[in-house]
Amino acid sequence: MIAEDLIYLGLGMVFGAIIIANMMSGTQGRLKKICNIYFARFSNKDIDKLAVMFDDDVSLRDWEISASGKDNVIKANQKIFDSVDTIQVTPLVMYSEDDVVVAELEILVDNKVKLYVTDVITFTGDKISSIRAYKG
């Protein structure tokens, strides 16, 4: 190979890597945006707008509850909302890989109790198919 061929080969590899990175960040960026919407709706205790984000077979598990199926997850969320006056979810950091977003959260309950929680949220398309929440 001559130097010119090596330059073209190198440029092709660089552009290919950029295209792949952009494709991946597009999906992962979209899922992070959906998570931000989810956290905002959760903070607003807007059960109707949360419901449209869930897959029919969604599951929820945290340190106190476990629910499967859209109706049961909606009921579990409503139970949480009914038990507090206010709840404010603030994402600190989000990581994304394939169809999963991991979010480190600060949750302020009733403007006085601060919890640190890690949510592992799995997607089927643009719908949330599972939420696993870990305290600590």
State residue 6's pLDDT score.
43
How far apart CA 25 and CA 82 sit, in angstroms, is 37
Sheet architecture: strand order including 100-109: 66-68, 54-61, 127-135, 113-124, 100-109, 87-97
Residue that the structure tokens 């991946």 belong to:
24
Question: Band of the pLDDT at 28, cuts 50, 70, 90?
Answer: confident
CATH classification for the domain delimited by 3-135, as one of 3.10.450.50, 3.40.190.80, 3.40.1160.10, 3.40.50.970: 3.10.450.50
Q: What is the pLDDT of residues 84-105, one digit of tens each?
A: 999 999 999 999 999 999 999 9
Q: What is the pLDDT of residues 46-61, one digit of tens each?
A: 999 999 999 999 999 9
- Distance (Å) of CA 75 to CA 14, 29, 32, 34, 60: 49, 29, 25, 21, 11
- Mean pLDDT in residue range 29-51: 97
State residue 136's pLDDT score.
87
pTM: 0.80
